[in-house]
Amino acid sequence: MLTDKKLRIAVMVSGGGTNLQALIDSMKSGVIHSGEITLVISNKADAYALTRAENAGIKAVAVTRKEQGDNFEKKIIETLEENNIDLVVLAGFMCILSQDFTDRFKNRIINIHPSLIPSFCGEGFYGLRVHKAALEKGVKVTGATVHFVNEIPDGGEIIMQKAVEVMEGDTPETLSTRVLQNAEWIILPRATQLVCEKILRNEI
């Protein structure tokens, strides 16, 4: 049985934050009702995602490798712990996290990847590179995957997937937009809610 308790969610981003916006909108609409985004962290000080967070009244923090150096992950961990975060959502976070980091938050970090894992995933597959590889391979169906994060890039247990058709004449840019709109923005909020429910039920 679910309680009225809401998990405290941190979203980690590197860029414009369209997936972050989908999560914020899903909180407002009630798709996400077992958790609340209370913190946004970006590894880029000028990421527009930080502005999106501030506009929504959410605490926004930049933690950059340039400023932190070897303390980069340590600073992120400190920030998460200071804010009593229960679940971390990687929504276009372009840094690979160490095993020390992922072990510390085992089954408490999820990520969105713009392909149907195990296709076009792992180290080096991010952003438009994923869609370029899919088009070069000639696949007719691609999509997005939400998965738990472990020490292997894109290697954690799959939580949710959604397929998207590849159209004739697609470019990496047009395919990226279709996958975002028809898969990522839909399954990331749903998977976030699902994981929140499971944590509240002590199932994970």
Catalytic residues: 113
What DSSP letter does each residue of 119-154 carry, written as one string? Answer: SS-STT--THHHHHHHHHHT-SEEEEEEEE--SSTT
Three-state DSSP class for residue 96: coil
Cβ proximity of 108 and 88 under 8 Å = yes
- Residues 6 or more apart in contact with residue 129 via CB below 8 angstroms: none
- How far is 193 from 187, CA to CA, in rounded Å? 10
